[in-house]
Amino acid sequence: MKILAPVSSINEVKILISKGAEELYCGISLEAWEHKHGQDLWLSRRGPGKANIGNLEILSELVETAHNCGAKVFLTLNQPGYVKELAAEILPFVQEVRRNCKVDAFIVADPGLIRILKEKEQDIVIHVSSLAAVLNSSSVNFFRKLGVERIIFPRYLNVNSLNKIISTCGRELEYEVFILNDGCVFEEGYCHVSHAYGGAFCHNPAWSYKLLSMVREDEKESFRHCVDEYKRWLWVGIKNFGGLTGSDGYPLGMCGLCSLHEYKELGITSLKIVGREAPLRKKAKSVELVKRILDYENDGHPSGEVRDYARRLKGVKRLCETGYMCYDR
């Protein structure tokens, strides 16, 4: 299994690769695109700013640096959908990127855009974004027919579900899973919550909930219990600990590190670290953490020992034991 790390600056490339990353992914925010379409229409799911590469010249240099170090680079075009006019505009952009920047693959969610790209650029390598919400074997087979090379599964698909999908669809395709950082309340491919005006309401543990209809007392108790669970999950797994670190400086928050052994058995190709917008230190420590546990697993330790080792390295075992930080709860 390879480690896939986020990158937003050429200065990060050699450091992340030295820590163990063999694949990098990035977005791009072009001044000409912003001038024409404004700040609200993005090429990818990260808005203009520090999460993206600034122009094609920097992207080309970044890719060359990564290639010289033996790593691949993937570019995100992962909005869940683009209107027809935009898709037609993206095609020449992709063709220019392929000519001048030599990225190894494009991460795309929109089936219509995938179809256009494969029709016009038959040898293009496309990875299906998690924003496409590939949640079952039928979805995998649908995108296989479009000619993609890799499926990026959404977070929270547990090992049993992944096993069923991959067993049905086979291992001819590459498969990628989230391994560290960042959680989301909704299934990301179906979420239309705005993150403007101070952040998404769904990430607010202080949000107030109440029943509007008459229900039995036992139903009220069940409702209160579910709300308490939800708020605790938000506080521990997503909101509070996403930016904090354990005793060795490794990031807390969501992860799937305990499942590394099972992911290897399933034939998972790549382990994705989330956080293009994160500071370099967090990215580097994230790669280092995954690499240490992956090396431990590759040394032949059984699943239970890998799980215990992962929890020790994260540094706050009691938080791991709650299950609130798990992609595979």
Residue 188: per-residue pLDDT: 81
Non-local (6+) Cβ contacts of 147 within 8 A are: 114, 118, 122, 126
Domain count, the chain: 1
Tell me, yes or no, whether 264 lies in a domain.
Answer: yes
Tell me, yes or no, whether 204 lies in a domain.
Answer: no
Alpha carbon distance 6, 25 (integer Å): 5
The Cβ of residue 270 has, within 10 Å, a number of other Cβ atoms equal to 22
Residue 78: per-residue pLDDT: 87
Tell me, yes or no, whether 128 lies in a domain.
Answer: yes
- Range 14-35 burial, b when 16+ CB lie within 10 A, else e: ebbbebbbbbbbbbbbbeebbe
Tell me, yes or no, whether 216 lies in a domain.
Answer: no
The SS3 of residue 226 is helix
Alpha carbon distance 269, 58 (integer Å): 28
- Distances in Å between the Cα of 131 and the Cα atoms of 49, 88, 149, 174 are 21, 20, 16, 17
Q: How confident is the model at residue 328 (pLDDT cuts 50, 70, 90)?
A: confident
> What's the token pair of residue 182?
């960042």
Is the distance from CB of 262 to CB of 303 less than 8 angstroms?
yes
Q: How many residues does the chain have?
A: 329
**pLDDT digits 0-9 by tens, 94-117:** 999 999 999 999 999 999 999 999
> What's the token pair of residue 115?
């179809």
| Residue 259, domain extent | 2-182+242-322
**pLDDT digits 0-9 by tens, 144-202:** 999 999 999 999 899 999 999 999 999 999 999 999 998 888 888 888 776 666 667 77
Tell me, yes or no, whether 224 lies in a domain.
Answer: no
Torsion sign (Cα): 128, 129, 134, 139: negative
The SS3 of residue 114 is helix
**C-alpha R_g of the chain:** 20
Tell me, yes or no, whether 231 lies in a domain.
Answer: no
pLDDT above 90 for 243: no
pLDDT above 60 for 32: no
Mean pLDDT of 78-106: 88
**pLDDT digits 0-9 by tens, 229-241:** 988 888 888 877 7
Q: What are phi and psi of 97, to 5 degrees?
A: -60, -40
Alpha carbon distance 52, 130 (integer Å): 18
Q: What is the pTM of this model?
A: 0.92
Average confidence score pLDDT of the chain: 89
Tell me, yes or no, whether 206 lies in a domain.
Answer: no
CATH classification of the domain holding 153? 3.20.20.70
- Give which of 124, 127, 123, 133 is closest to 155, Cα–Cα: 133
Q: What are phi and psi of 38, to 5 degrees?
A: 85, -175
Which segments of 121-269 does DSSP mark as H helices, in order? 137-145, 159-169, 217-233, 260-266
Alpha carbon distance 240, 92 (integer Å): 42
